[in-house]
Amino acid sequence: MVNGQGPVDAVLVGYDNAENLGLRSILAYLQTRGQTAVLLAFRPGDDARILQAVLRWRPRLVGFSLIFQHTLDEFGRLMRHLREGRVAAHFTAGGHFPSLRPEQALELLPELDSIVRFEGELTLSELLERLDCPARWEEIQGLAFRRDRGVVLTPPRPLICDLDSLPPVWRDEPQRLGCGVKVASMLASRGCLFNCSFCSIRQFYGSPSGPLRRVRAPRAVVDEMLALFAQRDVRFFSFQDDDFAARTVQQRAWLHEFMRALAEAGLAERVRWKISCRVDDLDAEMLEALQRHGLAAVYLGVESGSEAGLRALNKQVSVAQNLVAVELLKRCGVAMSMGFMLFDPSSTMETIAENLDFLEAVGADGYFPITFCKMLPYAGTPIEAELHEAGRLEGPATAPDYRFDDPQVDWYEFLVKRVFTGRNFRPDGNVARLQAADFDCRVARAFGDYEVSESNCRSLQGLIGRSNALAVETLRSLRHELLSHGIDYLLEEEQTLVALAEREWRGEAAIDVELARLGQFQPMPPTSMMVHHDRS
């Protein structure tokens, strides 16, 4: 047990937006081994606070969670700041990029002493046991470190087959949704059976030996949910599984057992939960059954509204299947968001038009806010290898990029990025605020012990529809002007581009103002809340 001050064996540093279950699992495992560790949530520009905390804890080791390579510069600055602040602890890192490219990670981050590759629970614990004996590091599976001006890679550690052997992962204090409901992130599985060309999950879990996808026992998952519900009043569970509802015979049996366990524990009507899945995981019968047992929200991996784009991304589904899945979620009234890549390496002006038609089709009713991005070539992915072989991969490791075959698409992507980055990606942007409000509205409705103004919910759906329509209209106008006049004319004349951007930004600002006028969801009187808990 850590008492609030050092020394400790390890300080773990990483983003904690979705509770960083990877780091928290390592933290919990270390504690079962009698090794003391604390977790520090990281935000860019937070270097001074992290330094003061590390000096206070006086760890033997500092571990950094580098899930995505675009965070390398941020963590590199933090590591330099810690070294300049006289932190002499062993520095190690884990995550997708350092696991798949350990030599490159050690080169880019010279402050690092080692890399913990792939699943980190056992490897980090063994590293702590042998930290003062570098001669024995080669005995540790899943480790990379410098020696004699080279890098030593020990054999990858086999994956942990029995996920239930790992200790539960809980926050000290549950987070809350905007409507006040306490929420916890959970994992019921690790890995994915598919091999989408843009995703590094398959490479991360497929490089060591072991099953591509492993699951916990359904009743163990429900037991953890019940404990969090009973002990901490958690009523919403956000599953961080890469593909919760995989469409296999084994996973269908798992889902049915999971639902039976929820019903037997008395949780089916008292908690709600969210999953991520593929479009071909869903069918009406299964979705309705899951909803009866508490499913309230789905993140859907759509990715493209173009057949050519889906082939390039190796999604192994069709545009028609994407549309069916979205409509199915709408009919069931499940809250939803979707991943969507307006641009991928195969993009042409024609496939962009197909993507815009798709976004209009799914977003016109305002059921959820549409958002879109450019596919990034993450290290170790099949599409990164294809781009490299074709001579199209550009940029540093921290910001890999590519050009399109048609220069017009390059210019179009350039303009879209300038106009829509704030809307799509800022924490206070249009999409984030509308998503949060929509989610709060649907969750509050689902529980019934929060006052929900139906007129406000209808107004919110209208605002989402306006935001979606405005975005598609601006995207189409940019495309039309580029095809009609060419980039040279637009850059020289300027006013057309300025007017389109200002129309989009003014429209977003107006939607933000109206959103702020909508009321918040308020808890019902305490007696109503107590009746809910008495049933437990």
Mark whether 185 and 52 lie in a shared domain. no
**The one-letter amino acid at 463:** L
Confidence band for 525, pLDDT divided at 50, 70 and 90? very low
Confidence band for 178, pLDDT divided at 50, 70 and 90? confident
pLDDT above 60: residue 246: yes
Tokens read off for 427: 């924490």
Helix, strand or coil, per DSSP, at residue 4: coil
In sequence order, which residues have a C-beta less than 8 Å from that of residue 427 and are 6 or more positions away?
A: none
Q: Work out the percent of the chain whose per-residue pLDDT is above 90.
A: 87
Mark whether 288 and 361 lie in a shared domain. yes
Average pLDDT of the chain?
Answer: 93
Mark whether 186 and 123 lie in a shared domain. no
Mark whether 202 and 224 lie in a shared domain. yes
Mark whether 185 and 117 lie in a shared domain. no
What range does the domain containing 410 cover?
163-517
Residue 529's pLDDT is: 27
In sequence order, which residues have a C-beta less than 8 Å from that of residue 210 and are 6 or more positions away?
A: 158, 159, 160, 161
For residue 524, tell me if it sits in a domain: no
pLDDT tens, 325-334?
999 999 999 9
pLDDT above 70: residue 493: yes
Residue 265's pLDDT is: 98
> Tokens 């919910």, residue?
457
Segment 33-49 mean pLDDT: 95
Confidence band for 524, pLDDT divided at 50, 70 and 90? very low
Confidence band for 80, pLDDT divided at 50, 70 and 90? very high
Rounded CA separation 219/230 (Å): 16
Confidence band for 194, pLDDT divided at 50, 70 and 90? very high
Helix, strand or coil, per DSSP, at residue 398: coil
Mark whether 111 and 46 lie in a shared domain. yes
Mark whether 180 and 325 lie in a shared domain. yes
Mark whether 502 and 393 lie in a shared domain. yes
Residue 534's pLDDT is: 28
pLDDT above 60: residue 368: yes
Among residues 123, 153, 183, the one where a domain terminates is 153
Mark whether 221 and 131 lie in a shared domain. no
Segment 265-285 mean pLDDT: 97
For residue 500, tell me if it sits in a domain: yes
CATH number of the domain at 113, please: 3.40.50.280
In sequence order, which residues have a C-beta less than 8 Å from that of residue 448 and are 6 or more positions away?
A: none
Among residues 131, 153, 175, the one where a domain terminates is 153
Cβ–Cβ under 8 Å, residues 338 and 326: yes
Confidence band for 523, pLDDT divided at 50, 70 and 90? very low
Residue 5's pLDDT is: 77
For residue 158, tell me if it sits in a domain: no
For residue 311, tell me if it sits in a domain: yes
Q: In whole angstroms, what separates CA 492 from the centre of its chain?
A: 40
Cβ–Cβ under 8 Å, residues 299 and 275: yes
Rounded CA separation 206/429 (Å): 36
Mark whether 448 and 486 lie in a shared domain. yes
pLDDT tens, 330-355?
999 999 999 999 999 999 999 999 99
Domain count, the chain: 2
Taking the whole predicted model, whether its pTM rises above 0.75 is answered as yes
Mark whether 248 and 355 lie in a shared domain. yes
Confidence band for 177, pLDDT divided at 50, 70 and 90? confident
pLDDT above 60: residue 530: no
Residue 2's pLDDT is: 61
pLDDT tens, 281-336?
999 999 999 999 999 999 999 999 999 999 999 999 999 999 999 999 999 999 99
pLDDT above 80: residue 527: no
Helix, strand or coil, per DSSP, at residue 514: helix
C-alpha R_g of the chain: 24
Mark whether 403 and 479 lie in a shared domain. yes
pLDDT tens, 449-487?
767 788 889 999 999 999 999 999 999 999 999 999 999
For residue 527, tell me if it sits in a domain: no
pLDDT tens, 416-448?
999 999 999 999 999 999 999 999 999 888 887
For residue 3, tell me if it sits in a domain: no
pLDDT tens, 51-67?
999 999 999 999 999 98
For residue 535, tell me if it sits in a domain: no
Alpha helices in 142-217 (DSSP H): 201-206
CATH number of the domain at 441, please: 3.80.30.20
For residue 1, tell me if it sits in a domain: no
Among residues 94, 118, 153, the one where a domain terminates is 153
Q: In the 8-state DSSP scheme, what is residue 305?
A: S
Phi, psi of 133 (to 5 degrees): -130, 70
